[in-house]
């Protein structure tokens, strides 16, 4: 993926635009060049300044969604610093961003994660599962959970399903994936069995 930042000729100091662009040109990519996306590059006094909150594009031709930097940053903190037990992500359709919805402290457990998931809307989540093997070795496995309850809207189910792989590519270091439409499909016993 190559990123192309196109400045509009009549852009003001407060306007921002970022254009993701495929390395090979296509009809999808060409159409995307004329889109104005959420704040990424600022223009000040004729000079451009890239925002520190620049998001990463994924599956542009399919969903047009972006992953906010906070998603990867929080994930890396969980993976390396062990300061989070879980992270819940949501899609903001208005801004076309995948953002952090909730972060669980290191002292929280799997039940806290499941309790934070809505009954009528989709979410993504990652959970850092610590356990001790039969050889008395402490290990950690990161689970990616795609939550799409039956009561959620069809549009939401489709959007989350088509955007999932893009988010997973940003979150480097996931060991297992669980897809669930009801709590019984992501029970703690399932997590334990998968980690063996």
Domain boundaries, the chain: 2-54, 66-195
pTM over 0.85, yes/no: no
Show the 3-state SS of 8-67. CCCCCCCCECCEEECCCCCHHHHHHCCCCCCCCEEEECCEEEECCCCCEECCCCCCCCEE
The reported pLDDT for the residue numbered 63 is 62
- Residue 98: other Cβ atoms inside 10 A: 27
One of 1.10.3720.10, 3.40.50.1980, 3.90.1300.10, 3.40.20.10 is the CATH number of 66-195, namely 3.40.20.10
Positions in the chain whose pLDDT score sits under 50: 1-54, 57-61
Specify the pLDDT at position 180.
98
% the chain with pLDDT above 70: 68
Tell me the pLDDT tens digit for each residue of 118-153.
999 999 999 999 999 888 899 999 999 999 999 999
Neighbours of 56 (CB within 10 A): 18
Amino acid 110: pLDDT: 98
């Amino acid at each position: 993926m190559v990123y192309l930042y196109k400045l509009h000729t009549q852009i003001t100091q407060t306007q921002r635009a970022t254009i993701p662009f495929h390395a090979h040109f296509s009809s999808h990519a060409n159409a995307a060049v004329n889109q104005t996306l959420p704040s990424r590059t600022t223009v000040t006094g004729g000079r451009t300044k890239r925002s520190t909150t620049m998001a990463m594009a994924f599956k542009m031709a399919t969903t047009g969604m972006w992953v906010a930097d906070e998603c990867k940053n929080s994930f890396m903190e969980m993976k390396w610093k062990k300061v989070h037990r879980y992270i819940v992500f949501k899609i903001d359709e208005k801004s076309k961003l995948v953002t952090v919805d909730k972060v669980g402290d290191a002292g929280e457990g799997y039940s806290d994660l499941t309790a934070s998931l809505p009954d009528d809307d989709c979410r993504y989540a990652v959970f850092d599962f610590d356990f001790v093997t039969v050889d008395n070795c402490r290990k950690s496995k990161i689970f990616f959970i795609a939550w799409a309850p039956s009561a959620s809207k069809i549009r939401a189910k489709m959007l989350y399903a088509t955007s999932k792989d893009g988010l997973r590519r940003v979150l480097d270091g996931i060991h297992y994936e669980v897809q669930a439409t009801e709590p019984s499909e992501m029970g703690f016993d399932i997590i334990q069995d998968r980690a063996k």
